[in-house]
Chain A
Amino acid sequence: MTAVDAPRIGEALGPAPARRARWLVLAIPYAWLLVLFLVPFFIVLKLSFSTAAVAQPPYLPAFDFSDGIAGLLDRARQFTVDNYLWLTDDALYFRAYLSSLRIAVISTILVLLVGYPIAYGMARAPRRWQPTLVMLVILPFWTSFLIRVYAWIGILKKEGLLNQLLLAVGVLDDPLTILNTNAAVYIGIVYSYLPFMVLPLYATLERMDASLVEAAADLGCTPRRTFWRITFPLSLPGVVAGCFLVFIPVTGEFVIPDLLGGSDTLMIGKTLWAEFFSNRDWPLASAVAVILLLILVVPIVLFQNQEQRRAEREA
């Protein structure tokens, strides 16, 4: 009797709520993406096809629904691709994109070079210290990003702490000009984005089986070769994750080049800001943003693929 009854009870209570729960679980992230990514994106996309105007809001066409469907269609005909044509016309934008990508690539490499030894040291540190070390890496996030970048002005300027120190020690006779150069931008980026590199690297290195390194040594491999043959290849997922986490936001970075960089530091984030606030050309600024997004979609998709493949491999 029970064997016959049991599935019927299961059918009545199990699948329907389960289906609803699954739907709910899926709906939450999609709703999140819709409201916080897709809707703003379409607003920007729409703006990028508009024309700048001395008006409130400062672009045309401005939609209002009082004229009915016909009015909306009429206004929609005013959309234009002029902003995109303008971007291809003026070499400034192309150079800004290129310069942003170059700065992003170089700083990603710099962050990796600085971050890898830190992550490696953390993973090899005695286990009881490790939570403290992770804490120290995260600690700067407790202060405003803006304030930390401002602090670098105080360190890097001509009469700043760094120059004072180098002059006092006697390394230099004349103070270095660091602030308002690309060097200052790199310093700022490496400092600000280090945790994004260190944390994924630490996670992969810490998980690595220590007996693999011992096995390599046992088979006659010197510590240096063991690093390049065993440790580094096995930490590649962390390297890739860290590089993407740094590269993607650095490409669109605005605050650091604006505060620490010079007038010749060309980055697309700065250009975007100038178009939006100084020139009040919202449509052109939107077009710049849309192109930036398209450039970044490529590494984002690559990153997602890599993450997915890793998840599958681990499963």
Chain B
Amino acid sequence: MAKKALGPVRRTFAPWDDPSTKPFIEFNGVTKRFGDFTAIDNINLGIYEREFFALLGPSGCGKTTMMRMIAGFDEPSDGKLMLDGQDLAGIPPYRRPSNMMFQSYALFPHMTVAANVAFGLKQEGMPRAQIAARVDEMLKLVKLTPFAARKPHQLSGGQKQRVALARSLAKRPKVLLLDEPLGALDKKLREETQFELSDLQVDLGLTFVIVTHDQEEAMTLADRIAVMDHGRIVQIGTPAEIYEQPNSRYVADFIGSINLIGGRITACGGGAVRLERDGGTTILVEQDLDAKVGDTAWFAVRPEKITVTMERPAEVNVNCLEGEVWEIGYLGDISTYHVRLPDGETIKATLANRTRAVQRPIGWEDKVWVSWSRDSGVVLTS
């Protein structure tokens, strides 16, 4: 019931667009160095209350260090880290209002499931009866009530993951930190758990920060994603913003699959960009872009936004290229087509399989045309 009521609220949940809202977690020029190595390079970032925030990037990009600084396991070398208006400098992990779900789960092997969940509450000095009630509630939440008396080594991977989640939620932390929480689960379980996590976050109204290298996980779960590279945040935005309007080739390439077509800008302004490709093809894009004529740029377009046709489109040489089908991947719901252009470049396109025909109209080595509309992709200058 509560979920339904929150539905429409959630759709407009965007405190980052409201200048009067103060961030709940705030990185102010935070830098973290380990010896000569700069893990985090002067990051400014605000995470808002009740937000599900994802730190996304390849391993070694600094995302885990960001999380460990919130938890208190690492201290910033420079800059200020605030949580709920409080400067976190010098506050040890055991006095911070955040709890973490560890990548390895870090369940205490000598304690039962119930004792693991109760551990944090005992440290608070909560009365015994209340602890028991809270542990029951938590185990019910993660559907592990029958396993309360088991030891961690008697659980499956998915069950361990739920114990870890219950343990990190038991203290009702202001912030829940999730370090690659679903990494060890198989695909099906992972998808299930993703939705459960998402529901849980809405129900409990907590702030979640998740660290992941899995772009799909970040897209499914998060309100906003920060894409990181070499200790810097490359782009922050909602999943749709990151996916549809990446600000660089790095982000475009990291999230999902994309075609990058290089060229030179020949006209720019008035809400449109013209990109000229070697060989005379023109790419017209409806976009406000801050660039100069003559700059090198890349047109980035997702495979599902490309149409593959046997017939020549009406406007030849604008937003269309001729090539030969090099490879077809049939995935059931969709098929992916790799179309090789005369200059050797490959364009990826995906088409939904909308009929039940076994023989598809487009086959291997067919001469085809790939085309796209003017609002389907973006021009990137970096």
Contact = CB atoms under 8 A, between A and B. Distances in A.
A221 B104 contact: no
Interface in A35-56: none
Given A219-B99, A219-B171, A209 B94 contact: no
Q: Tell me the interface secondary structure of chain A in the complex.
A: helix
B92 interface: yes
Interface of A: 209, 211-212, 214-223, 225, 229-230, 233-234, 313
Contacts of A214: 71, 73, 93, 100, 102, 106
A125 to B, nearest CB: 17
Contacts of B120: 219-221
A233 B110 CA distance: 8
Interface residues of B, number: 26
A236 to B, nearest CB: 8
B119 A219 contact: yes
A29 to B, nearest CB: 30
B355 interface: no
Nearest to B110: A233
B108 A215 contact: yes
Interface string B87-98: 000001111101
A199 to B, nearest CB: 22
Interface in B82-138: 92-96, 98-100, 102-104, 106, 108-110, 119-120, 123-124
A212 B106 CA distance: 5
B274 interface: no
25 contacts: A209-B106, A211-B104, A212-B109, A214-B93, A214-B102, A215-B102, A217-B72, A217-B92, A217-B93, A217-B94, A218-B71, A218-B72, A219-B119, A219-B120, A219-B123, A219-B167, A219-B171, A220-B94, A220-B123, A220-B124, A222-B94, A223-B94, A225-B123, A234-B110, A313-B153
Contacts of B108: 212, 215-216, 230
B115 to A, nearest CB: 10
Contact of A218 (B93, B103, B153): B93
B119 A216 contact: yes
Nearest to A219: B120
Nearest to B73: A214
Given A212-B106, A212-B108, A218 B123 contact: no
Contacts of A209: 104, 106
Contacts of B109: 212, 234
Contacts of B171: 219-220
B93 to A, nearest CB: 4
Name the 3 nearest CB pairs between A and B, nearest first: A219-B120, A220-B123, A215-B106
